[in-house]
Every structure is written in structure tokens, then in C-alpha cells.
Structure 1
Amino acid sequence: MATKLMSLSSIACLLLVGAFLHVASAVDYDVGGDFGWSLPPNPTFFSDWARNKTFFVGDKLVFRSKASETHDVAEPDGQVDLDGCVEPGISLSTSAVLSISLDSPRRRYFICTIGNHCNAGMKFAVDVFINPNSAMPPPPSSASSLRFGAVLAAAMAGLFFLLTI
């Protein structure tokens, strides 16, 4: 009888832990796919590439430039600046590869500020969403989340104790 109860308690604990630890994997996206971060064949190439994807917090955009080309990555402040290829104050060099983490849910804009590259189509925007299937950790200052964790731990310990006696 005790073995059966131990088995049931183990299964219950595994199910409970599994329910709380369901985490979706982040994705690294090579900007432009196999084409890379290069002068595009048409002005909508990168916008078309981004339109076919759903980006979530935790994903990364990987900008890969060909060794023979010089490009950078900059983040304009908004759609008007993206459309007008307005160069922001800070540009990030891509020498060969640059990885940018999508760290919060919002719309982000990217351009190349070298020469006329942006006007030639080296620009796009992405909408970043919270993945509903990921377990987001609570903010460090969240007392209610800490309280919930303590209550959950106590409940699991109590359940385990009751099932093993």
C-alpha cells in the first residue's frame, strides 16, 4: 500500500512540476534567411521576409553580412523614421554577424545607415509578442509571486506528506 501511495505521489508531483515548467524555446532568426543582411533584390525584400514570421520575447534577430559588403544596423524611433530612413544617433556595426535580442513586447524598427542602403530596401519592422506558451519568470520585486511560490511549495510538501503516511 505504501509503495502504491509513493507511486501516486511521485506521479502527482511530476504532473504539477511539468505544468509549471512548460517553456517554449526561443528562436534565432537569420535576417533575410539565406540571403542575409545584404542589398536586397527589391525594396520590399526585408519587409516581406519579416511579415511571414511571428516574433516573441526571447527570440533573436541575427544579422549576417557577406564579408565583401559593409553594413550596419540601426533602430529608428518609429514608423515615420523607418519610412524616411532617418538615421538614429546610434548604429551598431555588423562586421560579419550581429545578434539582437527581442527583450520586450513592442514594435521594433531596423535599418542599414550605410550610403543609400536603407532607401534601397535594407529596412524592416517586427512586432514582438509575449509567447502565451512560455513561463515568464516573475519580476524580482513581485511580492505576490513570491508569496504564491511559498504557498505552492508548502502545498506540495503537505500533499507529499499526506500521500506517504
Structure 2
Amino acid sequence: MASKTHYTILLLSAVTASLFAGSAAGVYHIVGAGKGWRMAPNKTYYEDWARTRNISIGDKLMFLYRSGVYNIVEVPTKELFDKCSMKSITNRYQNGPTIIELTQQGPRYYFCGVGKHCEEGQKLAINVSAIAPPQQDAPNTSSATVSTRAALCYLAGLAVCVVSELLM
């Protein structure tokens, strides 16, 4: 069995690779960075994470979590989000990892619907902005390159899941 150091290096490599996987088709955001989608260490963890991100239409949120232990519930309003209410669910995702493509501008609200996870801070509110203007000096990107970057990001996410599972 590999040492914890080897798994940590693999985790850092996967996160770094995903950071460079942005493309004209959108940027992948690993929710919670290296921690993934799990019980937050404090009630503002995911709020603090979101505050440091510029999220636009076409970007993708990558939620890294273990199926059966965590899930993702999307609700349409801040009021339902603040109350961790599951009365009017827009979407529910149960099989991690989950990638959600952001196709509309405006606020989006997600939380974990398991137990009291939401009340303990496992919740994420973001504001999706209009499509970011393209960089003028950026080279043209072929669809093969975009597909390769997307695959790299997905594999990086899977690597993070495997490593976090092994470190548990």
C-alpha cells in the first residue's frame, strides 16, 4: 500500500491539473477545493470558497463526494436555502462525483440533504455571471483539445475521490 504522502501528492497533482483544465467551453470548479463536498470544518467553509471564485455561464461545478454518505440538493430560492428546506427541490444528485454545467445567469443554491449536514454548513450559494468575454490573445482551441481538457478534469476529480476514500 502506498504511503499517505504518495496519496497527498496524487491529490495535489489532480487538483493542479484541474486548475489548468479551463477552456473556451467553461472552467471546472472543484467545490470545496481539496476537501471536496463533505461535512464542512466550519459553517462558512463553502461560503468562503465561493467568495473566491468568478463563476460564469458555461462553467461546471464538480462536486466530489461518496455516494450514500452525501448528496446534493438544489433549491430555487434563498429562503429555502437558508432554512435547508427540501419542500421545493429543483434537482437532486445522489451518485458522486457529480458535475453540474451552469447554463443560466443568476443565483444557484445547493446543499447536502443528508441528516443535519446543511445546518452544519454543507451548503453552497453561488451567483452565475454572464459569459466571460474571450481573451483577445488566446489561441484558437480545437474541439479535440477541449474534450481532452474536460476528460483530464474529470479524471482529476475521480483521483481526488479515490484519494479521499483511501485517506478516510
Q: Does structure 1 residue 32 correspond to structure 2 residue 32?
A: yes
**Aligned residue type for 2:83:** G
In structure 2, how many angstroms separate the alpha carbons of the residues matched to 1:93 and 1:103? 17
Give runs of ≥4 in structure 1 deviating > 2 Å: 88-96
Q: Distance in 2 between matches of 1:76 and 1:92?
A: 9
Give 2:75's aligned residue: 76
> How many residues were matched structurally?
112
Could you say which residue in structure 2 is the equivalent of 1:107? 107
- Following TM superposition, by how much is the alpha carbon of 1:74 offset from its aligned partner in structure 2, in angstroms? 1.0
Q: Name the TM-score, length of structure 1 as normaliser.
A: 0.62
Query: What TM-score do you get using the length of structure 2 for normalisation?
Result: 0.61
Describe the shift of the 1:90–1:102 C-alpha distance in structure 2 as closer, same or farther (beyond 3 A). Answer: closer
Task: Indicate if the aligned counterparts of 2:75 and 2:91 stay in contact, CA closer than 8 A.
Answer: no
SS of the equivalent of 1:120 reads coil
Q: Percent identity?
A: 29
CA shift in 2, pair 1:101/1:86, >3 Å: same
Structure 1 distance, partners of 2:44, 2:106, is 22
Change (3 A) 1:125 1:71: same
- Aligned equivalents of 1:105 and 1:94: distance in 2? 24
SS of aligned partner of 2:69 = coil
Q: Which residue of structure 1 aligns with residue 50 of structure 2?
A: 50
Secondary structure of the 1:74 match is: strand
C-alpha distance in 1 between matches for 2:47 and 2:99: 18
Partners of 1:79 and 1:89 lie apart in 2 by 12
TM superposition shift of 1:91: 4.8
Give the match's secondary structure for 2:75: coil
Contact kept in structure 2, 1:64 and 1:97, CA below 8 Å: yes
Q: Equivalent residue for 1:8?
A: none
Q: 1:158 maps to what in 2?
A: none
Change in 2 beyond 3 A, CA 1:132/1:62: closer
Question: How many Å separate the matches in 2 of 1:64 and 1:103?
Answer: 20
Deviation of residue 93 (structure 1)?
Answer: 3.0
The structure with more radius of gyration: 1
Name the amino acid aligned to 1:50: A
CA distance in 2, matches of 1:43, 1:75: 18
Structure 1, gaps ≥5 residues long: 1-22, 136-165
Deviations 1:102-128 (A, max 9, x none): 101111100111100000101121111
How far off its partner does 1:95 sit? 2.6
| Unpaired segments ≥5 residues, structure 2 | 1-22, 136-168
* Alpha-carbon distance, 1:132 to partner: 4.1
Q: 1:92 to 1:82 in 2, by over 3 A?
A: same
User: SS state of the match for residue 49, structure 2?
Assistant: helix
